[in-house]
Amino acid sequence: MTNFIDFLLGGFSNGAVIALMALALVMVWRSTRMVNFAQVGQAMFTTYIALTVQQSTGNWLLALAVAMGAGLVLGTIVYFLVIRPVKNSDTTGAIIATFGVLIALQAGAGMIWGGDPEGFVPPVSNAGLEFAGRIWPISLYDILVLAVTAALVIGLTLLFTKTSLGLSMRASAFNPEVARLSGVRVNRMLITGWALAGATGAVGGVLIAPVSTISPNSFDILLVFAFTAAVIGGLDSLIGAVTFGIGTGLVISLVTGYTDASNAPVVALVLLALNLLLKPDGVFSHHGSRSV
Amino acid sequence: MSNVDSTTGKVSNAQKLRSFPGNRIVWHAVIVGAVWLLLLLLNNNIDPLYSSYLALVAMYATAMFGMTILVGLSGQVSLGNGALMAVGGYVFALTSMNWQTVPIFGWQWNAVWSMVFAGLGGILIGGIVGGLAARLKGPYLAGLTLGLAVGVPAITNRFPELLGGENGLMLTVPYPAGGYSAAAGAAELGDETTDSGADPGLDPSISVDEDQYAELDLSEFDQEFDEFDQDIDPNTNAEAEDLLTEGDLLTLDDFSDGGDLGLESPEPSEEPIVDAGVDSGVDSGTVATDSAGSLDDGFIIEQWQASMAIAVACLVAFAALNLIRGRQGRVWKAVRDDPIAAAVVGISPSGSKVSAFVVSSLFAALAGAVFAQILSFVGPGAFGLGLSLSLLVGIVLGGRSSLLGAILGALIIVWLPELVNGLAGERGWPDQITNNAPNLLYGLLVVAVVLAAPGGMTGTLRSWIDKSRGKSRSPLS
C-alpha cells in the first residue's frame, strides 16, 4: 500500500507536464481543428533555448520566461508559415506538414545543440522530501512543477472565461462564421491560440527537462502521452486535458513502478485505443451539442 | 456495361481490351517483369556497394507501396508502418532462427517460408490496427499510429529472452543452397545460361547474353511505356461506372490469385540456381566462401541481398499495381474523396479503410523481413519512429498517390543522406551538422511540398503534362 501511494505521489509532477502538453494540443485543436504533432518539437526547441539561457546566466526564472517568449514566437511562426497556407485546402497535408515541422525542428536542434542528452539543473532540490520520519517520492522541485502548472492553468482559465479576448477565442473556436459576423477578428484568435499553445508547451518542456534529460528526440514519448490525455479528454476541453493529463501521469507512474518503464508507451497505446473504441469523442467533449 | 462509352453508347475495341481484367494483369506482369529484369541486370553489373544501396531502395519501395495505398489512395495518415515493418522483421527473425530445420508440406524451411509468416503477421496486426483505424479520422489515426510507432519497439524490452530486448536479435540469413552467383540474374531467363553461370570461365558469353536480353527488355519496356501513357488519361465516365458495377473487375479476393501468380514466377529462377550448385557440387562450397572475389566470381552478399529485395519489391509492386488500377483502387479513392457518396453507391467506407490498412501492413511486414535480412539483425532502434517518419517523408516527396512516387521516395530516402555525406566530406562539415542535415532537409522539403506541390514529384510532373495537353486535374488524384 505504501508502494501504491508512493507511485501515485511520484506521478503528479509528470502528470502536470503531460497536462500542459495536452493543454497545448487542445488549444491548437480549439483554434484550428487540427492536432499539432510538432507541439513537443516546439517545446523541445524552446527548452534548449532555456537551457542555453540557464547555462549562461544561471537564472531559472529568466530561462522559463525566455522559453515562454520563444514558445509564443515559434507557435506564431509555425502557424503563419505552415498552417495558415495549408489548413483549408488539404487536411491530410496539414497533418503531414506538422510532422515535417517536427522532423525539421528535431534536426535543427541536433545541429545547434548536438544529439547527446543534456541535463537541466533544477532551481530547487530534486531529492525526495523527508517528512514524518521517511523520505517521500515528492521533491521540492515537484512541488514547484505543480505550482507553476496550477498557476498557468488558473491563468488560462481566467483568460478564457473572464476576459473579452478569451470570449472571442471561445467564440471563434465554437463557430468561426458567426464569430466573424459578430466582429471577432477570427484570424487573430487563431494566431493567439497557436501562440498560447506554444508558450504552454514551452513551460511543460522546461519543467520536465530536469527530471528527464533533454535531447532532440527525448520528448517524442511525451507527445504520445499528451495526445492520449488530450483525446481521452475530448480534444477540445481544457478541463479534460488537465484532468486526464494528470491521470495519464499517475497511470504511467503506477505502470513504471509496478512493472517497467518500457511498458508505459504500450499502456498509453492501449488506453488510447480503448478510448477511441469506446468513447471516440472523449469524456469531456462538447461534440454532442455541436452537431445539433 | 462498364465498357460502354456513355456519350456514344459504343464499345471501342481498345476500351474492351483495357478493361478486361485478365488482360490488364498480363500487362502489369509484363511491366513488372521487364523492370525486374532490368534491375537484375543492373544489380549484376554494378559494384557491390551500389548493390547494397539498391537493396535498401527496393526495401523502402516495398514499404512505401503500402504507404501509397494507405496515405495516397485511402487518405489515412499512418505512422504505424515502421512498427509493422518491425512485426515483419521480428517474425522473420524468430521463424528463420528457431524453425530452420522443420519442413512444412514437405518443403524445407527457408527464407521464403519465413517471409510468408512475416506477411501473415503483418496481415494479422494490420487487421487489428486497421479495425481500430477505420473508426478514426485524420489526426486521431495519426496519433494512434504514432503510439504504435513508439509502443511496438518498446514491447521488445518486455520480452528480453524472446525478442532480445534493447540489443535486438542477430540472425543468420538463410542463403540459398548453391549460393548466389552473378549470373543468377541471367539464369532467370532460361536454362541455357545456368551452366555458364556457375563457371567463371565463360564470362564473355554471359555478357553477350545479357546484352541481347537488355535489347529485348528495352523494346518491351517501350511498348509498356506507350501502354502506360494511354492508361494515364482515364475515361472518367467509364471509371465512374466501374465504381458502380461489381462485375468483372479486380477485387481484394483476386489479390490472393495475383499473389500466387506472382509467387510462382521466381520458382524457375530459384531452381536453376540450386541446380547449378548441385551440378558443380564441389564449386558451390568454395564459391560461397570466396566471397571476396570479383563481380563475376562467387557469392556476393550485397548482390544476393539486392536480388532478394528486388524480387520482393517487384512482387509487391505487381500486386499493388493490380489493386490500384483495378476496382479496389477506385473504391479507396472514392472513400477518400467522399465517404458519404461512396456509401451511397454501396461501398463500405470502413471496409475500404481496413482493406487499405491490411494491404499496406502486408507490404510493410514483407519490407521488414527484407530489412531483417539486409541487416542480419532486428532491434528496436532499427524500427523506431524515425523509420515510420522516413516512410511518410518519402511518400510525400515522391508523390502520395502513385507507385512511381513511392519508388522516387525510396530513392530520395536512400540517396539524400549519401549526398549530404559526400558534400560534408568535401566541405569538412562537423558531424553534428552532417548527421542532422538530411533530416532537416526532409522536414523542410515535406513542408514545402505540402504547401507548394501536394502531389509530390510525380503529381507535379503529371499536372505539367496535363497542362501541356490542356487538361486539368487534382494533383492528388
Chain B residue numbers with beta carbons less than 8 Å from the beta carbon of A97 are 446-447, 450-451
**pLDDT digit string, tens, across residues B423-434:** 888 888 888 888
pLDDT at A102 over 90: yes
**pLDDT digit string, tens, across residues B123-151:** 999 998 888 877 777 778 888 888 888 88
Decide which of B223 and B107 is more confident. B107
Domain count, chain A: 1
User: Quick one: pLDDT at residue A94?
Assistant: 85
- The verdict on a CB contact (< 8 Å) between A220 and B150 is yes
**Domain boundaries in chain B?**
13-384
- For A56, the grid coordinates are 549562461
**Band of residue B246 on the pLDDT scale cut at 50, 70, 90:** very low
Measured in angstroms, the CA of B171 and the nearest CA of chain A are apart by: 24
Measured in angstroms, the CA of A237 and the nearest CA of chain B are apart by: 16
pLDDT at B196 over 90: no
Strand partners, B104: B107
Measured in angstroms, the CA of B363 and the nearest CA of chain A are apart by: 21
User: Quick one: pLDDT at residue B298?
Assistant: 61
What is the amino acid identity at position A266?
V
User: Quick one: pLDDT at residue A50?
Assistant: 93
- The verdict on a CB contact (< 8 Å) between A90 and B450 is yes
**pLDDT digit string, tens, across residues A166-217:** 888 888 877 888 888 888 888 888 899 999 999 999 999 999 988 888 888 8
Measured in angstroms, the CA of B352 and the nearest CA of chain A are apart by: 17
User: Quick one: pLDDT at residue B216?
Assistant: 37
Measured in angstroms, the CA of B235 and the nearest CA of chain A are apart by: 26
Chain A residue numbers with beta carbons less than 8 Å from the beta carbon of B385 are 217, 220
If you count them, how many residues does chain B have? 477
User: Quick one: pLDDT at residue B154?
Assistant: 79
Residue A129 lies in a domain: no
Neighbours of B189 (CB within 10 A): 21
What is the amino acid identity at position A141?
Y
Chain B CB within 8 Å of residue A77 CB? no
Nearest CA in chain B to A105: B440
The dihedrals phi and psi of A234, each to the nearest 5 degrees, come to 110, 0
Residue A126 lies in a domain: no
Domain span at residue A169?
A: 2-121+139-290
Chain B residue numbers with beta carbons less than 8 Å from the beta carbon of A35 are 139, 142-143
User: Quick one: pLDDT at residue B132?
Assistant: 81
If you count them, how many residues does chain A have? 292
Residue A253 lies in a domain: yes
Among A188-202, B250-264, B366-380, which stretch is predicted with the lowest mean pLDDT? B250-264
Interface A:B, Cβ pairs < 8 A: 153
| CATH of residue A189 | 1.10.3470
Q: Is the dihedral of CA A110, A111, A115, A116 positive or negative?
A: negative
Q: What is the ipTM of this complex?
A: 0.87
- The verdict on a CB contact (< 8 Å) between B143 and A93 is no
N-to-C CA span, chain A: 47
H helix intervals, chain A: 2-32, 39-57, 60-78, 84-86, 91-113, 140-162, 164-174, 176-181, 186-208, 220-232, 238-258, 264-278, 287-290
Pick the most confident of A249-263, B122-136, B313-327: B313-327
Among A269-283, B162-176, B217-231, B378-392, which stretch is predicted with the lowest mean pLDDT? B217-231
pLDDT at B284 over 80: no
Chain A residue numbers with beta carbons less than 8 Å from the beta carbon of B167 are none
Residue A128 lies in a domain: no
**Band of residue A62 on the pLDDT scale cut at 50, 70, 90:** very high
pTM of the entire structure? 0.77
Q: What percent of chain A has pLDDT over 70?
A: 94
DSSP letter at A89?
Answer: T
User: Quick one: pLDDT at residue B411?
Assistant: 93
pLDDT at B188 over 50: no
Residue A107 lies in a domain: yes
Chain B CB within 8 Å of residue A23 CB? no
Averaged pLDDT for residues B92-105: 75
Q: What percent of chain B has pLDDT over 70?
A: 65
What's the distance, CA B251 to chain centroid?
20
**Band of residue B69 on the pLDDT scale cut at 50, 70, 90:** very high
> Long-range CB contacts (< 8 A, 24+ apart) of A277-282?
A277/B132, A277/B135, A280/B135, A280/B136, A280/B140, A281/A234, A282/A231, A282/A232, A282/A233, A282/A234, A282/A235, A282/A237, A282/A240
**CA neighbor of B457 nearest in space, from B467, B448, B470, B444:** B448
Of A97, A263, A268, the CB nearest to B446: A97
